[in-house]
Amino acid sequence: MAAHTPLPRNLRRGLAAFSGSLFINNKTRDSGAAHPYPPAREVLSSLPLQMMLYFNVYYFPVWCLAEGMMLQLKYHLLPRHYQFLLVAAFLILTVGEGSRLYLGYMGNLQEKVPELAGFLLLSFLIQLPLLLFLLTDSHITPLPLEMAVHSLFLAFLVAEIVAAFLALKTMTKQLAAQFYLRPFKEGS
């Protein structure tokens, strides 16, 4: 996503073109030949998504430690099938969160659509259902600390899904425009 400024888009483009011609393409006798700089392009990575990913990287060990402690405290009180389900959910969430955060960083900062799409799919199809199971199932005897850390994790997850969807929409639109304009650039 591009940075939002109070300037209208056409005025911002005009100022960018003017400053580029004034400072970069200056062809005076003392400057020698003009250096061929690549044309400026709009940054597509999402700052809100990157901020959420940054804070989530620091929150994840706290969640992991708290969930591990809560699981250890209530493990003996649960039936055998819930013991298996909770341990499996904890392991899947832990491994999934590490790979999800890695894909989010790579996809957003390097503007890579497949990685960002993988981040979105992991978030929506694996992390969200498991987290909702941990928050809503009353047979797992939820503890107050567990409800608090899961609620904060769910808030991060939902906000990241929304921000990643918007960033992915912007990136795919830009990629499609580049794809359709490629024949015109090659012909000139």
The residue extents of the domains of the chain are 7-40, 50-176
* pLDDT computed for residue 41 by the predictor: 67
- The closest of 12, 42, 50 to 175, measured between CA atoms, is 42
* pLDDT computed for residue 79 by the predictor: 93
Contacts with 74 (C-beta within 8 Å, 6 or more apart), sequence order: 140, 141, 143
* pLDDT computed for residue 1 by the predictor: 47
pLDDT in single tens digits along all 188 residues of the chain: 455 556 677 777 776 666 565 555 444 544 445 455 555 567 788 899 999 999 999 999 999 999 999 999 999 999 999 999 999 999 999 999 999 999 999 999 998 999 999 999 999 999 999 999 999 998 888 899 999 999 999 999 999 999 999 999 998 888 888 777 777 776 66
Residues 5 and 71: beta-carbon distance below 8 Å? no
> Hey, what amino acid is at 106?
M
| pTM greater than 0.85 (yes/no) | no
* pLDDT computed for residue 59 by the predictor: 96
Q: What does the alpha-carbon distance between residue 24 and residue 94 come to, in Å, rounded to a whole number?
A: 49
* pLDDT computed for residue 43 by the predictor: 77
* pLDDT computed for residue 183 by the predictor: 73
* pLDDT computed for residue 10 by the predictor: 77
